[in-house]
Amino acid sequence: MSTRQSRIIEVGAGYNPIAPKSDGWLTHVVDHADQPTLREKYAGADVDVNRIESVDTVWHDGPLDQAVAPEWIGRFDTMIASHVLEHMPDMITFLRSAERLLRPDGVIALALPDRRFCFDCLKPATTTGDILEAHRVGRVRHGVRTVWAHMAYSTGVDGGLAWNSHATGTPRFLDTFGSAHAMVTELKDDPSAPYVDFHCWYLTPASFALIMLELSQMGLVDWRLESVSPTEGFEFFAFLRRGGLQIADAESLQERRMQLMMDQLREQRVLIDLLCGPTAAPAMPTPPVMEKVGDPEMKEVSGKLDRLLGMIEAQEPRMHEIAHSALLIRAALTPVQKVWHRLTGRR
């Protein structure tokens, strides 16, 4: 067995961990339930429940760093969170927990769905203001806005929950208006009620870059976005490192923010062309969005997760073999209709 000394905390590893303990990784698994419960939950959902590993920290509520045993605070080298951040009711609190859990030189590797190419495509794009409001009210569960968006505007293309930039199908709502109305009518703001999970943030590479820039600039998180990849399929990958970005020159900050806003418009044009047909003028290709704020020698990452994790290999020598296991995530990130129906309670 290889010696793999880097300590990893993997949040939401589920039924397809990226750095499985069974392969020798020193991984601390965080999930919303223990192993037997997760295996029961996914039974019959066309996934290999035997890949669900023992859960080290069961996280129900409160900040993540308060759920993890005190002896682990500040000891992890890397956090892996694949398709997790878009579910967090309070993104700022989650990122602050990561600051406490990771070493000062720690890194976060993220996989995120691009809202243009999944069932979030018709939902309003998330802004920094949305993130700020959720943090200010201390949101710990999803409210009416999120529930309504999920039930009323979740959309499939050709029956799929995710697609790529070359999709040609007609968009269709996944639920009826009546179902959405009933769901929000019955929704109770009761802390004792069972937690119901949804996507609450609808992101693209440029919008995530702008959010991280602005949160960092305000001093609300101590993370800088070293790179964010172009979208590959329906997802993109981001790499965060400690040390919040501070652009002292007000004019340079405005220029950077405007650049990212323009990038978002180009991204939106791709979505419009995809769902409505090409515009009169040819759509400009969406340029890769790369934050040029870190080490100038840092290589750019491609849109594939194995290359994102390859960056960790380059910058974290103790993780030199993690790229080998990155391909394991592909099956987990391919949306499965049966899983969707099971987890949303529909047949």
> Tokens 């290359």 correspond to what residue?
307
Lowest mean pLDDT among 53-67, 89-103, 140-154, 179-193: 179-193
Looking at per-residue confidence, does 9 or 289 come out higher?
A: 9
| CA 206 – CA 231 distance, rounded (Å) | 10
Mean pLDDT of 228-232: 94
What is the value of pTM for the model shown? 0.80
Phi/psi class of residue 332: alpha, beta or left (left: φ > 0; alpha: ψ in -120 to 50)? alpha
Mean pLDDT of 196-211: 97
Q: What is the pLDDT of residue 195?
A: 86
Mean pLDDT, the chain, rounded, equals 84
Q: For 3, phi and psi rounded to 5 degrees? A: -85, 115
Looking at per-residue confidence, does 191 or 304 come out higher?
A: 191
At 192, is the pLDDT very low, low, confident or very high (cuts 50, 70, 90)? confident
Q: What is the pLDDT of residue 188?
A: 84
As a whole-number percent, the residues of the chain with pLDDT over 90 amount to 69
> Tokens 């080298």 correspond to what residue?
77
* Amino acid (1-letter code) at residue 28: H
Q: What is the pLDDT of residue 297?
A: 39
At 236, is the pLDDT very low, low, confident or very high (cuts 50, 70, 90)? very high
Q: Which tens digit of pLDDT belongs to each residue from 37-46?
A: 999 999 988 8
Nearest to residue 234, comparing CAs of 155, 120, 91, 324?
A: 120
Nearest to residue 298, comparing CAs of 216, 209, 212, 226?
A: 226
* Amino acid (1-letter code) at residue 345: G
Q: Is the pLDDT of residue 97 over 80?
A: yes
Radius of gyration of the chain (CA): 20
Nearest to residue 231, comparing CAs of 120, 78, 312?
A: 120
Mean pLDDT of 294-322: 45
| CA 347 – CA 340 distance, rounded (Å) | 10
Q: What is the pLDDT of residue 327?
A: 34
At 310, is the pLDDT very low, low, confident or very high (cuts 50, 70, 90)? low
Q: How many CB atoms lie within 10 A of CB 215?
A: 23
Q: Is the pLDDT of residue 345 over 50?
A: no
Q: Is the pLDDT of residue 61 over 60?
A: yes
Q: Is the pLDDT of residue 256 over 50?
A: yes
- 3-class secondary-structure state, position 67: helix
Q: Which tens digit of pLDDT belongs to each residue from 150-168?
A: 999 999 998 899 999 999 8
Q: Is the pLDDT of residue 323 over 50?
A: no
Q: Which own/partner pairs from 18-25 qualify as long-range (CB within 8 Å, at least 24 positions apart)?
A: 18/80, 18/82, 18/305, 18/309, 18/322, 18/325, 18/326, 18/328, 18/329, 19/80, 19/322, 19/325, 20/51, 20/53, 20/325, 20/328, 21/53, 21/54, 22/53, 23/325, 25/322, 25/325
What residue ranges do the domains of the chain occupy?
7-343
Q: Is the pLDDT of residue 322 over 80?
A: no
Q: How many CB atoms lie within 10 A of CB 130?
A: 17
At 282, is the pLDDT very low, low, confident or very high (cuts 50, 70, 90)? low
**Pairing, β 102-113 against β 76-82:** parallel
